[in-house]
Structure 1
Amino acid sequence: MSNFSKAKGFKKSKAGTYLSIGTTIFGAMGVVKQARKARSENDLLMLADAAVSAAAIVTGVAVLVRELRRLGDDDVLLG
């Protein structure tokens, strides 16, 4: 199997899924900062944007966790 094929399959591997979860959670820190700033400035529109972004992050992590469960022990890169 070529290196390019392995790299393409990385996104659907356990390691790739863990990496996606980590980067998504890392992105949540920006949403937390945005929400804190919105609350301190009493900006309801920015607070609503932060809430929608937080909901998207939670949904994204849930989808990635479901994908991780589907992968089980069948890792693409190890096979």
Structure 2
Amino acid sequence: MSALTKAKGFKKSRTGTYLSIGTTAFGALSVIKQARRARTDNDTLQLIDAVVSAVAIATGVAILLRELKRLGDDDVLLG
């Protein structure tokens, strides 16, 4: 198995999914900072952008959690 094939398979693995959830959640920190700055500056447009970004992050995490659950369902040793 080549290194490229292993790297492509990592994204669909349990570890890769946990890593994706972590990096997505880490992105939430910048959105929180953006929202706080927008509220301080009374910038409605920046606040709307932060809210939309937060919704996108929440959706991404939900999709990753669904993928993680699906990976868990496929594991014969767990069931």
Q: Partner of 2:66: helix, strand, or coil? A: helix
Partner residue, 1:4:
4
CA distance in 2, matches of 1:8, 1:59: 23
How many equivalent residue pairs? 75
- Show the counterpart of 2:15: 15
Q: Equivalents in 1 of 2:20, 2:73: separation in Å? A: 18
Listed as ranges, the matches of 1:26-65 within 5 Å are 26-65=26-65
TM-score normalised over the length of structure 1: 0.89
1:47 CA drift (Å): 0.2
Distance across 2 between alignment mates of 1:3 and 1:46: 42
Structure 1 unaligned blocks of 5 or more: none
Q: What runs of 5+ residues in structure 2 fail to find an aligned partner?
A: none
CA deviations over 1:7-57 (Å, ceiling 9, x no partner): 110000000000000000000000000000000000000000000000000
TM normalised by structure 2 equals 0.89
Alpha-carbon distance, 1:4 to partner: 2.0
CA RMSD of aligned residues (A): 1.3
